[in-house]
Structure 1
Amino acid sequence: MDRDIVISVIFGAALVMALAGVWWLNRWYQRWEARRTQEFPDVYVQTELSTGQFARDPEAVAMAASAAYAVRFGRYADEFAFTDVDGVITRMLASSWSIRSREDLVLQLWSLLTWGHRADFDAERLGVLSLTGAERTEYLKTLKRDGRRSLRNREVWVRARRIAEDEKGAERVDFAAFDLVRVIMLCRAGEGAGLLPADLARDTANIAAAAIQQTYRSWDAYTHDELVGRWLWAAKDSAHEAENLAQEERTAASINVPEGIRTAVPITMRVPDRSLLILRELERIGVPWRAPMSTSRPWERELAAAVQQPPSARARQVDS
């Protein structure tokens, strides 16, 4: 009898500890997910400068493309650097991106420009769309089963299902929009946090701005791909994800309305010549920047060609 009591007590204690562990893991995941998706107050920031002045700014296209981040961070959309007087930007870079130094930021920027998430997502999409109906059904079943093993596998399954069903135009969305807007955001945040000098931050942001300009003929088309790209990246099928998407859509609507931030900046506005100053930084920290790059898009091929040019020719090579 005593032995049975001891076993019952041990089992009960183990059950309590297991339940406490599940509760703790759930709380940890919610906090991690909030940081990963970079939640910020749903506010609308009016531009500080007049419409005419904003339109004349050399970085106007880059600022307009990344205006949603200015809204999320509570910063002025027409000031390139996201000021960091309250420490929000520094905390965001550290918690969401593991960026704590200039070197960390430069490496992340170059990764987004040369590969980003688009290479993997394009491959995932091809893996779905290349299958016939029966093959696709079986493939999705396999992914769903694998999704029970890890969060990452579940994201792959959710993305594949959304692509198979062409939710929100997932079959055709250009994933590069999500990579490029984050390049600009990190440049603005990096300058504001004191991690990047202004010339490097703006030159790199304009690489992304020119790529956006080359890909899209309207802000509406770009906004669609940026939002859907983010939604496919998150790939959670949760109430939290739905709330985030609704907030993103409200922010985008406030930016794209006739009196919104982007009205003053046509997507066709000239972007300054780029000198690829980021290559100098990569050389300084000893990174082999001539490593393989994604070249499936015209702007990627132009960037890859420009990388091979001598410094004196780079600005001409990337001039659109």
Structure 2
Amino acid sequence: MIENILSQVPSPVWLAIFFVALALVSNRIKTAINRSKGAAPAPQDVRKAGQESEWNDLNEHHTPHLRGTRSSMTTDPTARLLAPSFPYALCNGDTLNVLSVSDPAATKEMLKRDWDITDRKQLLRQLYSLLRDGHREDFAFLRKRCANQSWAEAEISRLRKTADVSTQDWERLWQIHRFQANDRGLQSLEFAAWDFIRAANLTRAGASAGWLSEDEAFDTLAAINRALQSYYSSWDETWEAFRTTRWLWAAEGQAREAANDLHDRNRGEFLLGKNGVWTAIPWDAPYPAPRFLLLDALGEIGALRLLSSANWEDASAWERDLDTQARTRAPMSIGGKPIVN
């Protein structure tokens, strides 16, 4: 009886059933492959908010490109050196464990547009700034000022009375409110990951532009890894510091804030989820000790700056480490004294 029923099904119907089944199997295979690369299905709250489509787009956007397998990165010193650059490499479509970038022309344009970097000297100076103090110094200073309630109230009042509030003033007002509320744990947050991960991205970009040699680039990445390990004890801690400081830095209003949060939540899955790329690389995996070739290059152009005695007292262990290395390379002024600030 069943054979009779099946024999009466028209050929076009069988063909349609075949293609539907093929599509379902193909989709399952694609989903399995994507999950093996770190993609996660949209969380329940994301689906409930009607953002499943955006999440799936981010899964495509952040799908990692690797040379070899994810597990091979566990014992690969090159992957360990490049690991701090992974957050941006995921967004840029770069092969994570290779120094080169996917689109050198676009990367060079990014350097000019976002950083005003158009040559080697500018790149060296910007990398040094990020490693030496960066935004973390500004945020730490603002946090300290906000602890003074009188100052914070006066500053808020001043900014609110401004007839034509600039974007910078609006961001400052927003940040003061966030510090006062200890939003996202800002009172105890270490901001350094924001500077160091951006420095890793600039290092890859600078090498692709030809402004850093491969040796200089990998040595600078070694210094960045050393810096991160002086502030943090895990990839999880590093990521939390980076994404929270990025949120503080952006200050772009509620709509943009929600989009950024979704973006970084998805990016975090590819870094630290079940099959995340950072989880494949032990935090304490060995890598070559930095020789601080960046400081050698900065010394050649007279761009090294040394900490003053007062600033040394407030400096972190990493900042003292960097300053100690700089002192062995610093040129002397006409009076015979190192340049300090």
Residue of 107, 118, 123 corresponding to 1:105? 123
Matched, 1:299 2:318: yes
Distance 1:197-1:148 versus aligned 2 partners, 3 A rule: same
Once the two structures are superposed, what CA deviation does each residue of 1:24-75 show, in whole Å capped at 9, x if it has no partner?
A: xxxxxxxxxxxxxxxxx83322423223432233243342222111111011
Alignment of 1:92-171 (within 5 A): 92-131=110-149, 136-146=152-162, 148-171=164-187
Of residues 61-70 and 183-192 in structure 1, the stretch that sits farther from structure 2 once superposed is 61-70
Once the two structures are superposed, what CA deviation does each residue of 1:250-275 show, in whole Å capped at 9, x if it has no partner?
A: 11222111211012111122232111
Matched, 1:243 2:259: yes
Q: What residue number does 2:45 align with? A: none
Indicate conservation of the 8 Å contact 2:73/2:80, yes or no. Answer: no
Q: What residue number does 2:82 align with? A: 63
Mapped partners of 1:206, 1:146: distance in 2: 46
Mapped partners of 1:221, 1:288: distance in 2: 31
Alignment of 1:80-95 (within 5 A): 80-85=99-104, 87-95=105-113
Of residues 279-288 and 151-160 in structure 1, the stretch that sits farther from structure 2 once superposed is 279-288
Indicate conservation of the 8 Å contact 1:158/1:236, yes or no. Answer: no
Distance 1:310-1:96 versus aligned 2 partners, 3 A rule: closer
Mapped partners of 1:135, 1:197: distance in 2: 47
Q: What residue number does 1:5 align with? A: none
Matched to 1:281, the amino acid is A
Once the two structures are superposed, what CA deviation does each residue of 1:216-241 show, in whole Å capped at 9, x if it has no partner?
A: 22211111110011111112224234
RMSD: 2.5
Distance 1:71-1:147 versus aligned 2 partners, 3 A rule: farther
Q: CA deviation at 1:106?
A: 0.6
Matched, 1:220 2:236: yes
Q: What residue number does 2:227 align with? A: 211
Q: Say which SS state the counterpart of residue 170 (structure 1) adopts.
A: helix
Q: Say which SS state the counterpart of residue 266 (structure 1) adopts.
A: coil
Indicate conservation of the 8 Å contact 2:189/2:241, yes or no. Answer: yes
Mapped partners of 1:147, 1:171: distance in 2: 31
Which consecutive residues of structure 2, in runs of 5 or more, have no partner in the other structure?
1-59, 331-341
Q: CA deviation at 1:137?
A: 4.2
Indicate conservation of the 8 Å contact 1:82/1:193, yes or no. Answer: no
Q: CA deviation at 1:206?
A: 1.5
Matched to 2:72, the amino acid is Q
Mapped partners of 1:103, 1:310: distance in 2: 17
Percent identity for Structure 1 against Structure 2: 29
Q: CA deviation at 1:249?
A: 2.1
Q: CA deviation at 1:138?
A: 4.7
Query: Greater CA radius of gyration, 1 or 2?
Result: 2
Indicate conservation of the 8 Å contact 1:70/1:76, yes or no. Answer: yes
Residue of 89, 92, 109 corresponding to 1:73? 92
Alignment of 1:6-25 (within 5 A): none
Indicate conservation of the 8 Å contact 1:63/1:78, yes or no. Answer: yes
TM-score (norm 2): 0.72
Matched to 1:287, the amino acid is A
Matched, 1:181 2:197: yes
Which consecutive residues of structure 1, in runs of 5 or more, have no partner in the other structure?
1-40, 312-320
